[in-house]
């Protein structure tokens, strides 16, 4: 080892670390990312608003434009928009613990627990007479103890997309029962193309859909009910699709992306209305939509109704201002609502009057989608949470892929979910 002090090496090391540390302090002082004011305006109040990153081009610019318009009309209030890509809900949850929590934010699956946590402000007063314009399903999910806590901004219906030409060539009609779906998937599976895509894991929403399509449900009146025999039978039938090897698995993009059906990797795909413009661009009119088919004799078709709710943080510093902004954007500005729903992606406006004047839904598959949404749309109950989803998802995965007994697996999951549910309600 070199015994003479290596002065150059030491000094360089120290100077470099000092420079870097100093630089960090300086940049830290100069540019705290959160302290951006609304474009140098003279606003007294800044509302923080969160969106998850919508995939469609132009969405981020659009919400920024809406916010600027609000500030133009209300110079006292600036809106600071955070566009959150990646896992939205976990990031939102951790942000809600801090002083920099958003004042206004959206959420996909409305959570009863957030109301119980005292995190959401009731919105009945701003909703007032427009309440009648929202569907019962949309209102029910966001209602806890008679008060409404969320305003639906967009309705997203998820349904079964199929390639018209391929079904015709195989002499098939769009499936009306689960047996027909399995049969169609079998006949449409060729060397290069699989019959059906429900998700890279071969599960996706299929567990929920099968349960619903057999007339079952997840939670009913404070009780977990997906372990009832008819639901168990339906969920158990998912194994057929796996055993027949007709599902597209481990594709590059997942079910919510139109990639698989657009690139001829599958003949049928479970996907959302949002993907329709993209599918149209890629394969023209060679597609149609139907709900998830009925299971068995007593079942009925079903479709998952998702979308996003806009909420106000009850623990925020500016609850009243936030509510006013929410009312302005999602209740009063019908032009902006229409712009938001159909100019970038493709969503059904939840308000009847706005939906009525949106011409994009007058014909073709888009029209079918709206009908499916109204007739068959089903949302997760607001008591459903991440722990329950994991328990249920585990059970479905074991049944479909590891040949577990459906009654046992769903029974265990139901016990776990009931414990979760009791904790939430208790």
Partner 1 sequence: MTLSTPTRWAGAVRASARTGRRPRPRTDRSALGAFAVLTAPMVFGLGLFKYVAIGWSLLLSLGEARGTLDPTRWVGLDNYRFLLADPGFRDSLLTVVLFTLFIVPVTFAASLALAVLVNQVRRGRAFFRTAFLVPAAVSYVAAALVWRMALFNGLPSGIANTLGGLLGLDPVPWIATQHPPLYWIVLITLRLWLQVGLYMVLFLAGLQAIPPQLYEAAAIDGASGWRMFRHITLPMLRNTSVAVLLLMTIAGFQAFDEFYNVFSGGLGGSHTAPVHPPLVYLYDIALGDQNYGLGSAGAFLLTLLIVAVTLLQGRITGLGRKD
Partner 2 sequence: MIRPIRRRTVTTLATYAALGLAATAFLLPFYVMLRNALMTTRQVTSPDWQWLPDPLTFDNFTELFSDPAVPMASALGNSLLIAGVTAPVSTLLASMAGYALARIPVPGKGVVLSFILATMMIPGSVTFIPTFVVVGALGGVNTEWGIIAPGLFNAFAVLLFRNFYLRFPAEIEEAGRLDGLGYLGLYRRIALPNSTSMLAALGALSFIDSWNAFLWPLVIGQDPSSWTAQIALSTFLTAQSVNLPGLFAGAVVTIVPLAVMFLVAQRHIVQGITMSGLKD
Q: Which residues bind partner 2 (CB under 8 A)?
A: 1-3, 5-7, 9-10, 13, 16-17, 20-21, 23-24, 27-28, 32-34, 53-56, 60-61, 82-87, 90-91, 94-95, 97-100, 192, 252-253, 256-257, 259, 263, 278
423 to each of 180, 237, 308, 394, how far by Cα in Å?
Answer: 41, 31, 26, 21
Phi then psi dihedrals of residue 257, to 5 deg: -105, 135
Which of residues 124 and 422 has its CB atom nearest to partner 1 in the complex?
A: 422
Measured distance CA(29)–CA(177) in Å, rounded: 63
Shortest separation between residue 254's beta carbon and partner 1, angstroms: 5
Establish if 282 lies at the interface with partner 1 (CB under 8 A). no
Which of residues 131 and 281 has its CB atom nearest to partner 2 in the complex?
A: 281
Identify which range of 117-125, 179-187, 294-302, 326-334 contacts partner 1 by CB under 8 A: 117-125
Shortest separation between residue 304's beta carbon and partner 2, angstroms: 16
- The b/e string for 250-282 (b: 16+ C-beta within 10 A; e otherwise) is ebeeebbbbbbbbeebbbbbbbbbbbbbbbbee
Which of residues 155 and 217 has its CB atom nearest to partner 2 in the complex?
A: 155
Which of residues 84 and 276 has its CB atom nearest to partner 1 in the complex?
A: 84
Identify which range of 130-138, 196-204, 284-292, 296-304 contacts partner 1 by CB under 8 A: 196-204
Phi then psi dihedrals of residue 300, to 5 deg: -145, 155
What are the beta bridge partners of residue 156? 306
Shortest separation between residue 312's beta carbon and partner 1, angstroms: 15
Query: What's 149-188 look like in SS3?
Result: CCEEEEEEEEEEEECHHHHHHCCCCCCCEHHHHHHHHHHH
- Select the binding partner of residue 27 from partner 1, partner 2, none (C-beta < 5 to 8 A, by kind): partner 2
Helices 229-236, 206-213: inter-axial angle, 10-degree rounding: 130
Establish if 419 lies at the interface with partner 1 (CB under 8 A). yes
Shortest separation between residue 37's beta carbon and partner 1, angstroms: 29
List 77, 391, 399, 421, residue binding partner 1 (CB under 8 A): 391
The two tokens of residue 345 are: 């992606």
- Within positions 25 to 84, which residues make up the interface with partner 1, using CB under 8 A? 52
Shortest separation between residue 21's beta carbon and partner 1, angstroms: 8
347 to each of 56, 277, 286, how far by Cα in Å?
Answer: 11, 11, 21
Establish if 387 lies at the interface with partner 1 (CB under 8 A). yes
Phi then psi dihedrals of residue 195, to 5 deg: -75, -40
226, 410 contact by CB (below 8 A)? yes
- Count of residues that bind partner 1 according to CB under 8 A: 53
Which of residues 88 and 226 has its CB atom nearest to partner 2 in the complex?
A: 88
- The b/e string for 366-394 (b: 16+ C-beta within 10 A; e otherwise) is bebbbebbeebbbbbbbbbbeebbebbbe
Q: What dihedral do alpha carbons 248, 380, 376, 54 form, nearest 10°?
A: -60
All residues at 6 or more sequence positions from 245 whose CB lies less than 8 Å from its CB, including other chains: 189
Which of residues 23 and 222 has its CB atom nearest to partner 2 in the complex?
A: 23
Shortest separation between residue 275's beta carbon and partner 2, angstroms: 9
List 179, 389, 407, 411, residue binding partner 1 (CB under 8 A): 389
Measured distance CA(380)–CA(372) in Å, rounded: 17
Establish if 97 lies at the interface with partner 1 (CB under 8 A). yes
Phi then psi dihedrals of residue 121, to 5 deg: -95, 135
Shortest separation between residue 413's beta carbon and partner 1, angstroms: 9
Shortest separation between residue 350's beta carbon and partner 1, angstroms: 20
Shortest separation between residue 88's beta carbon and partner 1, angstroms: 8
Establish if 107 lies at the interface with partner 1 (CB under 8 A). no
The two tokens of residue 262 are: 């657009």
Interface residues with partner 1 (CB under 8 A)? 14, 17-18, 21, 52, 87-90, 93-94, 96-97, 108, 113-114, 116-119, 199-204, 248-252, 254-256, 265, 385-387, 389-394, 396-397, 401-403, 412, 416, 419, 423
């Amino acid at each position: 080892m070199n015994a003479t002090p290596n002065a150059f090496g030491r000094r360089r090391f120290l100077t470099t670390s000092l420079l870097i540390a100093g630089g960090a302090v300086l940049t830290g002082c100069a540019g705290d990312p959160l302290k951006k004011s609304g474009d140098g305006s003279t606003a007294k109040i800044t509302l923080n608003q969160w969106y998850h990153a919508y995939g469609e081009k132009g969405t981020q610019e659009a919400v920024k434009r809406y916010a600027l318009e609000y500030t133009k009309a209300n110079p006292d209030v600036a809106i600071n928009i955070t566009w959150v890509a990646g896992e939205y809900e976990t990031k939102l949850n951790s942000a809600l613990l801090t002083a920099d929590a958003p004042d206004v934010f959206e959420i996909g699956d409305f959570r009863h627990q957030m109301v119980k946590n005292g995190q959401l402000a009731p919105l009945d007063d701003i909703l007032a007479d427009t309440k009648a314009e929202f569907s019962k399903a949309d209102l029910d999910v966001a209602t806890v103890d008679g008060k409404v806590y969320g305003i639906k901004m967009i309705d997203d219906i998820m349904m079964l997309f199929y390639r018209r030409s391929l079904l015709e060539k195989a002499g098939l009609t769009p499936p009306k029962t689960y047996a027909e779906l399995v049969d169609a998937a079998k006949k449409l599976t060729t060397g290069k193309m699989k019959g059906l895509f429900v998700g890279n894991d071969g599960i996706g929403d299929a567990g929920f859909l099968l349960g619903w399509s057999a007339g079952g449900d997840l939670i009913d009146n404070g009780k977990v009910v997906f372990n009832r025999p008819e639901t168990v039978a339906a969920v158990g039938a998912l194994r057929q699709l796996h055993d027949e090897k007709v599902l597209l698995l481990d594709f590059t993009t997942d079910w919510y992306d139109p990639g698989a059906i657009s690139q001829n990797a599958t003949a049928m795909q479970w996907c959302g209305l949002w993907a329709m413009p993209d599918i149209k661009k890629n394969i023209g009119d060679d597609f149609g939509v139907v709900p998830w088919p009925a299971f068995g004799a007593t079942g009925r078709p079903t479709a998952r109704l998702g979308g996003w709710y806009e909420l106000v943080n009850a623990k925020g510093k500016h609850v009243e201002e936030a509510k006013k902004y929410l009312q302005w954007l999602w209740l009063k500005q019908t032009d902006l609502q229409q712009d938001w729903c159909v100019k970038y992606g493709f969503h059904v406006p939840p308000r009847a009057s706005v939906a009525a004047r949106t011409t994009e839904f007058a014909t073709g598959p888009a029209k079918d989608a709206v009908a499916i949404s109204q007739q068959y749309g089903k949302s997760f109950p607001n008591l459903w949470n991440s722990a329950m989803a994991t328990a249920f998802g585990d059970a479905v995965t074991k049944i479909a892929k590891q040949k577990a007994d459906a009654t046992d697996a769903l029974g265990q999951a139901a016990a776990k979910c009931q414990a979760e549910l009791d904790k939430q309600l208790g």
